[in-house]
A and B are shown apart, each in its own frame.
Chain A
Amino acid sequence: MEEKINGKEWANFPLEDDVYKTLLTKKFKNREVWHKPVVGEILSSLPGTVLTVTAIVGASVKAGDLLLIQEAMKMQNRILAPFDGVVKELDVKEGDKIGKNHLMAKIEPK
């Protein structure tokens, strides 16, 4: 998409069917790409530390059951099962430091 002229990378930038020759900014190139949320994937909403993990892979859970406790911003956040289902995957253990949007667990709906 980009070609170099005089040391600058000119891009062909499409907007509403017209294509403009222009430079791209670092911020634009580094923009976050959106992913469709997947049902049952429990992602961290804040970065923090995993304090306790109560979920067990293969076990059935009811909506509202405690899966794990994550400490973030000096608060102990209780991560609960969003619906009835089975714990298919568990991607954290106690003491893990995790970032935002880290996949913590997968629940398969019943």
Chain B
Amino acid sequence: MADLKQEIQTLRQKKAKLELGGGEAAIEKQKSIGKLTARERIHALLDEGSFQEYDLFIKHDGRDFGMEKKELAADGVVTGTGTIHGEPVCIYAQDFTVSGGSLGLQHARKITKIMDIALKMKCPLIGINDSGGARIQEGVGALAGYGEIFYRNTIASGVIPQISLILGPCAGGAVYSPALTDFVFVVENISKMFITGPNVIKTVLGEDISMEDLGGARVHAEITGNAHFYALTEVECFDQVKKLLNYIPSSNELKAKAVEPAEPVTELNIEDVVPSDPRQPYDVRDVIKCITDRSEFFEIQELWAANIVIGFGRMGGQTIGFVANQPKVLAGVLDCDSADKAARFIRFCDSFNIPIVTLEDMPGYLPGVDQEHAGVIRHGAKVLYAYSEATVPKITVILRKAYGGGYIAMNSRHLGADSLFAWPIAEIAVMGPEGAANIIFRKEIEGAEDKDAMREEKVKEYTDKFANPYVAAGRGFVDAVIEPKETRSVLLQALKFAETKSEDRPKKKHGLPPF
């Protein structure tokens, strides 16, 4: 007969051994490059004492190449449940100290088990990626494992928030799980993410590139747009994750938790932020600071496609998704990347019941052979699709320029804006005055003795007639022309009014967004 006290001792010993993962030497190596262990990461993220581990005693599936004799602690991945800010989350962290965090079938099954729980309980899923890739000794079993994870990422998309932390290598097929999730976090010098690594590129193509230059944190934060948050240390990254979870609901059945409303605290004067001359730059984030509670703004993808700004802020205590053209960068044009960035964010907000406030000041689309050939038509269409499709409250403020296709795209009345306001310096027109005058009055300008004087006169004529918000307001496309100082109170009221919004769409399996 078993003795309970003795069995408890045995359990503790077994757990202690398995919790060491790959052993002390491997842990030391992990730490020597600035990385925490899988368990330390989980404990740093979750509320203290809230972690309940699953499947610590799992056995791996390797039957060949001597793998059958090897023991892999927890099969290289720590999984379980816990809470962050008291709210339940499901979490997994690959353990690089165990066989390089390689993914075999049981390793994957542990992950899919926790994903199934997250989907059933409707709570966010957090995945910490730190793995050398597929466990080659297990062959197709490892591939099956990846596929089962991707399938669940897709099914859970738009139902529960899915968050990926890249805290080590994440290469080959493994990258597609993060790519299917909502938010990807990277850390300088630690994250390495690519489909084919430097070795393969060197062999096949003869190109010499380091892991960092190919798929390091900065590359994904600035060039590819694969990452949404960039941090210098793991600790900073965990703070970003916790902050993000504060702004978003735990599932698509809930609204984001409201907090105590508060007034903006910025010393900026909203009337001084935006220059009246539509060609002069400013930082649109300063406008956001003038209207959000406590002047707080949590920016997403700050470094990539900076010509559009996206992120969360609060108004009246409620989470709001902000989409704003950034005149300071590339004049705030829409291009392939910025369209992609905005459209994806709009769809996230729509999936998770977060109202969208659009601040518009843009001269149109970026011209160029590279843009046309990269498919700016297809990418630009994503913005139209995302705004039109969204049924959450959608409110637009036209701060200054709203020209041409950009006017339509940035949540215009025509795409279903619930309320649309414009500042008195707004210019809502097909194009800027210079370009328009050159086309409309070409004959007059060319026939004039003093061409420049005539051009100037005609630009002024056009500006007086069209470069204002009143033509659009006269057609009912703008609901009200407001003073900049009224922006916050007008938005608060419009958001309050839209709380009961319900809008139906025709029944369909799904639409075809221009992927």
Measured CB to CB, the residues of A under 8 A from B are: 10, 13, 15-28, 31-34, 47-49, 72-73, 97, 99
Contacts and interface: CB of A to CB of B under 8 A. Distances in A.
Contacts, number: 82
B279 A18 contact: yes
A28 B281 contact: no
17 contacts: A17-B435, A18-B278, A19-B279, A20-B279, A20-B281, A20-B331, A21-B280, A22-B281, A22-B327, A22-B329, A22-B332, A23-B329, A25-B305, A25-B330, A26-B222, A27-B222, A34-B370
A60 B305 CA distance: 50
A21 B281 contact: yes
A47 B368 contact: no
A34 B331 CA distance: 23
Across the A-B interface, the 3 shortest Cβ-Cβ residue pairs: A16-B435, A97-B206, A20-B331
B363 interface: yes
A15 B333 contact: yes
Contacts of A20: 279, 281, 327, 331, 363
B432 interface: yes
Interface string B345-378: 0000000000000000001100111100100000
A31 B204 CA distance: 25
Contact of B205 (A21, A27, A32, A47): A47
A72 to B, nearest CB: 8
Contacts of A48: 204-205
A26 B206 CA distance: 25
B330 A13 contact: yes
Contacts of B205: 47-48, 97, 99
Interface in B194-251: 204-207, 222-223
Nearest to B459: A17
Contact of B328 (A15, A23, A33, A72): A23
B433 interface: yes
Interface string B236-280: 000000000000000000000000000000000000000000111
A28 B222 contact: no
A4 B52 CA distance: 55
B438 interface: yes
A21 B432 contact: no
A19 B369 CA distance: 20
B306 interface: yes
A15 B433 CA distance: 11
B431 interface: yes
Contacts of A31: 368, 370
B206 A47 contact: yes
Contacts of A17: 432, 434-435, 438
Contact of A47 (B204, B337, B373, B438): B204
Contacts of B222: 26-27
Contacts of B319: none
